Amino acid sequence: MGAKFSTYRRRSHNSHSHNFHLHNSNSNSQSPQSTRPSNESLSPIQSTDSSIVRQGRHFHNTQQSTYWLPNDEEEMDRLVGQHFALKSLFNGNFLDDPEISALFENGCEILDVGCGPGTWIMDVATDFPACQCTGIDMSEVFPNIIRPSNVSFQGGNVLERLPFPDNTFDLVNIRLFILALRKEEWLQVVKEIFRVLKPGGFIQSTECSMLDVGNEFVLHVGAAIIEEMIDRGQEPRILGLFPDVLKEAQFERITQDNRVAHLSKPDHINREFLWDMINIFKSAQAFLSKKLDIPEEKYPGFLQQAYKECQKSPGAEWVLGITVGRKPQL
Protein backbone atom coordinates (compact mmCIF):
# COMPACT_ATOMS: atom_id res chain seq x y z
CA MET A 1 0.00 0.00 0.00
CA GLY A 2 2.83 2.35 0.89
CA ALA A 3 4.37 2.00 -2.54
CA LYS A 4 1.06 2.80 -4.22
CA PHE A 5 0.50 5.84 -2.03
CA SER A 6 3.99 7.19 -2.66
CA THR A 7 3.69 6.59 -6.41
CA TYR A 8 0.47 8.55 -6.37
CA ARG A 9 1.95 11.42 -4.40
CA ARG A 10 4.92 11.69 -6.75
CA ARG A 11 2.73 11.64 -9.85
CA SER A 12 0.18 14.00 -8.36
CA HIS A 13 2.84 16.50 -7.34
CA ASN A 14 4.39 16.40 -10.78
CA SER A 15 1.13 16.92 -12.58
CA HIS A 16 0.35 20.03 -10.60
CA SER A 17 3.73 21.62 -10.65
CA HIS A 18 4.15 22.12 -14.39
CA ASN A 19 2.10 22.53 -17.52
CA PHE A 20 0.58 19.06 -17.19
CA HIS A 21 3.29 17.13 -18.95
CA LEU A 22 1.70 13.86 -20.07
CA HIS A 23 3.96 11.20 -21.40
CA ASN A 24 2.79 8.94 -24.18
CA SER A 25 3.01 5.49 -22.67
CA ASN A 26 3.81 4.06 -26.11
CA SER A 27 6.80 6.20 -26.87
CA ASN A 28 8.29 7.01 -23.45
CA SER A 29 11.08 4.55 -22.75
CA GLN A 30 10.61 5.02 -18.99
CA SER A 31 6.97 4.01 -18.96
CA PRO A 32 6.04 0.78 -17.13
CA GLN A 33 5.08 -0.73 -20.49
CA SER A 34 8.68 -0.59 -21.65
CA THR A 35 9.44 -3.54 -19.36
CA ARG A 36 6.94 -5.66 -21.25
CA PRO A 37 7.79 -7.69 -24.37
CA SER A 38 8.94 -5.39 -27.13
CA ASN A 39 6.79 -7.05 -29.83
CA GLU A 40 3.68 -5.48 -28.21
CA SER A 41 4.08 -2.41 -30.36
CA LEU A 42 3.80 -4.50 -33.55
CA SER A 43 0.04 -4.85 -33.23
CA PRO A 44 -2.52 -2.46 -31.69
CA ILE A 45 -4.43 -5.31 -30.01
CA GLN A 46 -2.84 -8.37 -28.45
CA SER A 47 -4.08 -10.69 -25.79
CA THR A 48 -2.79 -13.03 -23.15
CA ASP A 49 -5.00 -15.22 -20.97
CA SER A 50 -5.51 -12.43 -18.49
CA SER A 51 -5.14 -9.18 -20.40
CA ILE A 52 -5.44 -7.45 -23.74
CA VAL A 53 -2.97 -4.76 -24.85
CA ARG A 54 -4.27 -1.78 -26.80
CA GLN A 55 -2.05 1.16 -27.70
CA GLY A 56 0.43 0.12 -25.02
CA ARG A 57 -2.14 -0.13 -22.19
CA HIS A 58 -3.32 -3.37 -20.54
CA PHE A 59 -7.03 -4.19 -20.28
CA HIS A 60 -9.04 -7.04 -18.73
CA ASN A 61 -9.89 -10.01 -20.90
CA THR A 62 -13.26 -10.89 -19.34
CA GLN A 63 -15.52 -11.54 -22.33
CA GLN A 64 -18.74 -10.86 -20.44
CA SER A 65 -17.68 -7.39 -19.22
CA THR A 66 -18.03 -4.05 -21.06
CA TYR A 67 -15.58 -2.26 -18.71
CA TRP A 68 -13.37 -0.04 -20.86
CA LEU A 69 -10.56 1.36 -18.69
CA PRO A 70 -7.16 -0.34 -18.31
CA ASN A 71 -6.04 -2.53 -15.43
CA ASP A 72 -2.36 -1.57 -15.48
CA GLU A 73 -0.09 0.17 -12.97
CA GLU A 74 -0.72 3.59 -14.46
CA GLU A 75 -4.48 3.20 -14.07
CA MET A 76 -4.03 1.97 -10.48
CA ASP A 77 -2.14 5.20 -9.74
CA ARG A 78 -5.09 7.15 -11.09
CA LEU A 79 -7.53 5.19 -8.92
CA VAL A 80 -5.43 5.80 -5.81
CA GLY A 81 -5.37 9.53 -6.55
CA GLN A 82 -9.10 9.52 -7.26
CA HIS A 83 -9.76 7.80 -3.93
CA PHE A 84 -8.16 10.66 -1.98
CA ALA A 85 -9.94 13.29 -4.07
CA LEU A 86 -13.29 11.60 -3.30
CA LYS A 87 -12.41 11.26 0.37
CA SER A 88 -11.75 15.03 0.53
CA LEU A 89 -14.91 15.89 -1.42
CA PHE A 90 -17.14 13.82 0.89
CA ASN A 91 -15.14 14.43 4.09
CA GLY A 92 -14.56 10.72 4.58
CA ASN A 93 -15.07 7.25 3.16
CA PHE A 94 -18.78 6.85 3.79
CA LEU A 95 -21.92 8.89 3.94
CA ASP A 96 -22.36 10.72 7.21
CA ASP A 97 -25.04 8.56 8.86
CA PRO A 98 -25.14 7.68 12.59
CA GLU A 99 -26.25 4.07 11.91
CA ILE A 100 -23.40 3.46 9.46
CA SER A 101 -20.89 5.14 11.81
CA ALA A 102 -22.05 2.86 14.64
CA LEU A 103 -21.57 -0.22 12.44
CA PHE A 104 -17.99 0.79 11.66
CA GLU A 105 -17.17 1.73 15.27
CA ASN A 106 -18.56 -1.54 16.68
CA GLY A 107 -16.87 -3.74 14.08
CA CYS A 108 -18.68 -5.33 11.16
CA GLU A 109 -18.24 -7.23 7.88
CA ILE A 110 -17.56 -5.02 4.86
CA LEU A 111 -17.29 -5.96 1.18
CA ASP A 112 -15.90 -3.70 -1.57
CA VAL A 113 -17.11 -4.88 -4.98
CA GLY A 114 -14.76 -3.90 -7.84
CA CYS A 115 -12.17 -2.74 -5.32
CA GLY A 116 -9.43 -2.05 -7.93
CA PRO A 117 -6.16 -1.41 -6.06
CA GLY A 118 -8.08 -1.73 -2.78
CA THR A 119 -7.45 1.80 -1.51
CA TRP A 120 -10.97 2.40 -0.13
CA ILE A 121 -11.20 -0.92 1.70
CA MET A 122 -7.66 -0.67 3.13
CA ASP A 123 -8.26 2.91 4.25
CA VAL A 124 -11.50 1.88 6.00
CA ALA A 125 -9.84 -1.21 7.53
CA THR A 126 -7.06 0.95 8.96
CA ASP A 127 -9.50 3.46 10.45
CA PHE A 128 -11.73 0.70 11.90
CA PRO A 129 -9.56 -2.23 13.04
CA ALA A 130 -12.55 -4.09 14.51
CA CYS A 131 -14.07 -4.50 11.01
CA GLN A 132 -13.42 -7.51 8.76
CA CYS A 133 -12.90 -6.23 5.25
CA THR A 134 -12.99 -8.02 1.89
CA GLY A 135 -12.23 -6.66 -1.58
CA ILE A 136 -13.18 -8.40 -4.80
CA ASP A 137 -12.34 -7.47 -8.39
CA MET A 138 -12.38 -9.24 -11.74
CA SER A 139 -8.81 -7.96 -12.36
CA GLU A 140 -6.47 -9.09 -9.61
CA VAL A 141 -4.85 -5.68 -9.23
CA PHE A 142 -5.05 -5.49 -5.43
CA PRO A 143 -2.05 -6.08 -3.11
CA ASN A 144 -1.35 -9.76 -2.61
CA ILE A 145 1.06 -9.58 0.30
CA ILE A 146 1.23 -6.27 2.13
CA ARG A 147 -2.13 -5.15 3.47
CA PRO A 148 -3.81 -4.51 6.84
CA SER A 149 -4.38 -7.79 8.71
CA ASN A 150 -8.17 -7.29 8.70
CA VAL A 151 -8.32 -7.14 4.88
CA SER A 152 -8.51 -9.98 2.38
CA PHE A 153 -8.82 -9.80 -1.40
CA GLN A 154 -10.05 -12.21 -4.01
CA GLY A 155 -10.72 -12.30 -7.72
CA GLY A 156 -14.35 -12.42 -8.81
CA ASN A 157 -16.88 -11.09 -11.28
CA VAL A 158 -20.00 -9.49 -9.80
CA LEU A 159 -21.89 -10.34 -12.99
CA GLU A 160 -21.61 -13.94 -11.91
CA ARG A 161 -22.79 -15.01 -8.47
CA LEU A 162 -20.67 -13.38 -5.74
CA PRO A 163 -18.71 -16.13 -3.93
CA PHE A 164 -20.37 -15.44 -0.55
CA PRO A 165 -23.41 -16.92 1.20
CA ASP A 166 -26.63 -14.96 1.66
CA ASN A 167 -26.72 -12.45 4.56
CA THR A 168 -22.93 -12.16 5.02
CA PHE A 169 -22.08 -8.44 5.05
CA ASP A 170 -23.16 -5.38 7.05
CA LEU A 171 -22.08 -2.97 4.31
CA VAL A 172 -21.25 -3.45 0.63
CA ASN A 173 -19.44 -0.66 -1.19
CA ILE A 174 -19.50 -0.36 -4.99
CA ARG A 175 -17.76 2.59 -6.58
CA LEU A 176 -17.50 3.88 -10.14
CA PHE A 177 -19.02 1.07 -12.19
CA ILE A 178 -20.48 3.57 -14.66
CA LEU A 179 -18.05 2.40 -17.38
CA ALA A 180 -18.40 -1.26 -16.34
CA LEU A 181 -22.08 -2.22 -16.53
CA ARG A 182 -24.67 -2.34 -19.28
CA LYS A 183 -27.98 -0.62 -18.46
CA GLU A 184 -29.77 -3.85 -17.60
CA GLU A 185 -26.89 -5.16 -15.47
CA TRP A 186 -27.33 -2.49 -12.77
CA LEU A 187 -30.44 -4.11 -11.29
CA GLN A 188 -28.87 -7.58 -11.52
CA VAL A 189 -25.76 -6.39 -9.61
CA VAL A 190 -27.77 -4.49 -7.00
CA LYS A 191 -29.95 -7.59 -6.40
CA GLU A 192 -26.81 -9.70 -5.96
CA ILE A 193 -25.49 -7.19 -3.41
CA PHE A 194 -28.90 -7.32 -1.66
CA ARG A 195 -28.52 -11.11 -1.41
CA VAL A 196 -25.12 -10.99 0.34
CA LEU A 197 -26.16 -8.19 2.73
CA LYS A 198 -27.46 -9.06 6.18
CA PRO A 199 -30.99 -7.80 6.95
CA GLY A 200 -30.52 -4.18 8.02
CA GLY A 201 -27.21 -3.97 6.09
CA PHE A 202 -26.30 -1.08 3.78
CA ILE A 203 -25.27 -0.67 0.17
CA GLN A 204 -23.13 2.37 -0.56
CA SER A 205 -22.64 3.31 -4.22
CA THR A 206 -20.55 6.18 -5.58
CA GLU A 207 -21.17 7.23 -9.18
CA CYS A 208 -20.68 10.30 -11.33
CA SER A 209 -22.31 12.45 -13.97
CA MET A 210 -21.19 12.95 -17.54
CA LEU A 211 -19.22 16.04 -18.61
CA ASP A 212 -22.24 17.97 -19.80
CA VAL A 213 -21.57 21.42 -18.34
CA GLY A 214 -18.70 23.53 -19.71
CA ASN A 215 -17.41 25.14 -22.90
CA GLU A 216 -17.68 23.74 -26.42
CA PHE A 217 -14.47 21.70 -26.11
CA VAL A 218 -15.54 20.12 -22.80
CA LEU A 219 -18.98 19.28 -24.21
CA HIS A 220 -17.39 17.77 -27.33
CA VAL A 221 -15.22 15.38 -25.27
CA GLY A 222 -18.16 14.67 -22.94
CA ALA A 223 -20.31 13.74 -25.96
CA ALA A 224 -17.64 11.30 -27.20
CA ILE A 225 -17.68 9.52 -23.82
CA ILE A 226 -21.48 9.30 -23.92
CA GLU A 227 -21.34 7.91 -27.47
CA GLU A 228 -18.84 5.21 -26.47
CA MET A 229 -21.04 4.26 -23.50
CA ILE A 230 -24.15 4.06 -25.65
CA ASP A 231 -22.30 1.86 -28.17
CA ARG A 232 -21.57 -0.48 -25.26
CA GLY A 233 -25.15 -0.44 -23.98
CA GLN A 234 -24.13 1.50 -20.83
CA GLU A 235 -26.13 4.12 -18.89
CA PRO A 236 -24.61 7.64 -18.73
CA ARG A 237 -27.37 8.83 -16.32
CA ILE A 238 -26.93 6.09 -13.72
CA LEU A 239 -26.18 8.52 -10.86
CA GLY A 240 -29.64 10.07 -11.12
CA LEU A 241 -31.34 6.73 -11.75
CA PHE A 242 -29.61 4.80 -8.97
CA PRO A 243 -32.16 5.53 -6.20
CA ASP A 244 -34.86 3.95 -8.41
CA VAL A 245 -32.67 0.90 -9.04
CA LEU A 246 -32.29 0.52 -5.26
CA LYS A 247 -36.06 0.84 -4.77
CA GLU A 248 -36.71 -1.80 -7.42
CA ALA A 249 -34.33 -4.18 -5.62
CA GLN A 250 -36.35 -3.66 -2.38
CA PHE A 251 -33.86 -1.41 -0.57
CA GLU A 252 -35.35 1.16 1.83
CA ARG A 253 -34.22 4.38 3.55
CA ILE A 254 -32.49 5.55 0.36
CA THR A 255 -30.44 8.77 0.48
CA GLN A 256 -28.19 10.45 -2.06
CA ASP A 257 -25.55 13.12 -1.51
CA ASN A 258 -24.30 14.78 -4.71
CA ARG A 259 -21.29 17.11 -4.73
CA VAL A 260 -19.73 19.09 -7.55
CA ALA A 261 -16.11 19.12 -8.68
CA HIS A 262 -15.51 22.46 -10.42
CA LEU A 263 -12.83 21.61 -12.94
CA SER A 264 -11.89 25.23 -13.66
CA LYS A 265 -11.28 26.21 -10.03
CA PRO A 266 -7.63 26.34 -8.91
CA ASP A 267 -8.00 25.10 -5.32
CA HIS A 268 -6.39 21.85 -4.25
CA ILE A 269 -9.44 19.57 -4.29
CA ASN A 270 -10.75 20.76 -7.65
CA ARG A 271 -7.27 20.41 -9.17
CA GLU A 272 -7.23 16.78 -7.98
CA PHE A 273 -10.45 16.14 -9.91
CA LEU A 274 -9.10 17.92 -13.00
CA TRP A 275 -5.98 15.69 -12.78
CA ASP A 276 -8.30 12.69 -12.48
CA MET A 277 -10.48 13.72 -15.44
CA ILE A 278 -7.51 14.27 -17.76
CA ASN A 279 -6.11 10.90 -16.73
CA ILE A 280 -9.47 9.28 -17.49
CA PHE A 281 -9.17 10.73 -21.01
CA LYS A 282 -5.63 9.28 -21.08
CA SER A 283 -6.75 5.85 -19.88
CA ALA A 284 -9.59 5.88 -22.43
CA GLN A 285 -7.28 6.80 -25.33
CA ALA A 286 -7.75 3.48 -27.16
CA PHE A 287 -11.47 4.25 -27.55
CA LEU A 288 -11.75 8.06 -27.33
CA SER A 289 -9.10 8.66 -30.00
CA LYS A 290 -11.39 6.88 -32.48
CA LYS A 291 -14.52 8.71 -31.36
CA LEU A 292 -12.73 12.08 -31.46
CA ASP A 293 -10.78 11.21 -34.62
CA ILE A 294 -7.39 12.01 -33.04
CA PRO A 295 -4.39 10.04 -34.37
CA GLU A 296 -2.35 8.26 -31.70
CA GLU A 297 0.65 10.61 -32.07
CA LYS A 298 -1.55 13.68 -31.53
CA TYR A 299 -3.24 12.36 -28.39
CA PRO A 300 -0.69 13.81 -25.90
CA GLY A 301 -1.33 17.25 -27.44
CA PHE A 302 -5.08 16.69 -27.10
CA LEU A 303 -4.62 15.89 -23.39
CA GLN A 304 -2.67 19.09 -22.83
CA GLN A 305 -5.35 21.06 -24.64
CA ALA A 306 -8.06 19.34 -22.57
CA TYR A 307 -6.26 20.35 -19.36
CA LYS A 308 -6.16 24.00 -20.44
CA GLU A 309 -9.72 24.03 -21.80
CA CYS A 310 -11.15 22.57 -18.57
CA GLN A 311 -9.23 25.17 -16.55
CA LYS A 312 -10.55 28.05 -18.60
CA SER A 313 -14.07 26.70 -19.13
CA PRO A 314 -16.21 28.61 -16.65
CA GLY A 315 -18.61 26.21 -15.06
CA ALA A 316 -16.96 22.96 -16.22
CA GLU A 317 -18.52 20.61 -13.71
CA TRP A 318 -18.36 16.98 -12.77
CA VAL A 319 -20.96 15.78 -10.27
CA LEU A 320 -20.10 12.88 -7.96
CA GLY A 321 -22.68 11.29 -5.72
CA ILE A 322 -22.94 8.73 -2.95
CA THR A 323 -26.18 6.78 -2.69
CA VAL A 324 -27.01 4.62 0.32
CA GLY A 325 -29.84 2.17 0.86
CA ARG A 326 -30.71 -0.36 3.57
CA LYS A 327 -31.85 -3.94 3.19
CA PRO A 328 -35.03 -4.22 5.30
CA GLN A 329 -34.80 -5.90 8.72
CA LEU A 330 -36.53 -9.28 8.83
Ligand X SMILES: C[S@@+](CC[C@H](N)C(=O)[O-])C[C@H]1O[C@@H](n2cnc3c(N)ncnc32)[C@H](O)[C@@H]1O
Nearest residue (CB) to ligand X, 313 versus 323: 323
Stretch in the footprint of ligand X (CB under 6 A) among 174-182, 240-248, 254-262, 294-302: 174-182
Q: Is 70 in the site for ligand X (CB under 6 A)?
A: no
Binding to ligand X, residues 110-149 (CB under 6 A) = 114-116, 119-120, 137-139
Which residues are registered as beta bridge partners of 153?
Answer: 135
- Give whichever of 115 and 221 is closer to ligand X, judged by the CB atom: 115
176 binds ligand X (CB under 6 A): yes
Q: How far apart are CB 237 and ligand X at their closest, in Å? A: 17
Among 8, 67, 68, 251, binds ligand X (CB under 6 A): 67
* Residue 240 burial (C-beta neighbours within 10 Å; 0-12, 13-18, 19+): middle
- Please state the closest distance from residue 232 (CB atom) to ligand X, in A: 12
- CB under 8 Å to 51, separation ≥6 — which residues? 58, 59, 60, 61, 71, 139
> Which amino acid is it at 74?
E
Any residues with CB less than 8 A from the CB of 222 and at least 6 apart, and which?
Answer: 210, 211, 212, 214
Largest CA distance in the chain: 59
Residue 151 near ligand X by CB under 6 A: no
Q: Count of alpha carbons within 13 Å of 56, Cβ hemisphere only?
A: 21
Q: How far is the CB of 176 from ligand X (least distance, A)?
A: 4
* Candidate list 1, 22, 53, 79; residue touching ligand X; CB under 6 A: 79
> Residue numbers of the site for ligand X (CB under 6 A)?
60, 65, 67, 69, 71, 79, 83, 114-116, 119-120, 137-139, 157-159, 175-176, 180
